Amino acid sequence: MRGMNALTMVRGFDRIRLSQEGERAMRTMLKVNMSTETANELARQGRLGTVIKSILDDLKPEAAYFTDDNGERTGFIFFDLADASQIPAVAEPWFLTLNARVSFRPAMNAEDLAKAVPGIDRAVKKYAGRA
């Protein structure tokens, strides 16, 4: 996205950039591993759900799923990352309220993968069989 001429729309701290071609920002998967101790304390106080809902309301993700990962409460949250400068604004609420570990990864849906097929085909033609 560096060097892209983009228009910016602001929704809370969640910015979505649209290029002149109308392309959206990069879909990103945020993995949040919550501190068991901190999450347990918030649960005992009856505040765990409220805290998570507040963070998600600000982020406005496309989707959010929760499960365990290595014995920790974990969220997999999919949202549009307009710019790398957004990373602290997205991560800090999780750090500050849940003492969480976070990681960011680019992600594709089925439509994105379909658009990627020509690039995959070019790579296969150029690099397949070369070792």
DSSP secondary structure, 49-106, as one string: HHHHHHHHHHH--SEEEEEEETTEEEEEEEEEE--GGGHHHHHHHHHHHH--EEEEEE
pLDDT greater than 80 at residue 119:
yes
pLDDT of residue 96: 98
In 3D space, the residue among 129, 122, 83 whose CA is nearest the CA of residue 104 turns out to be 83
Question: Residue for token digits 């347990």?
Answer: 40
- With bands split at pLDDT 50, 70 and 90, how would you rate the model's confidence at 129? confident
Type of residue found at 46: G
CATH architecture of the domain covering 28-127: 2-Layer Sandwich (3.30)
Report the alpha-carbon distance of residue 100 to residue 94 in Å, rounded: 6
Ordered by start, the domain boundaries in the chain are: 28-127
0.75 surpassed by pTM: yes
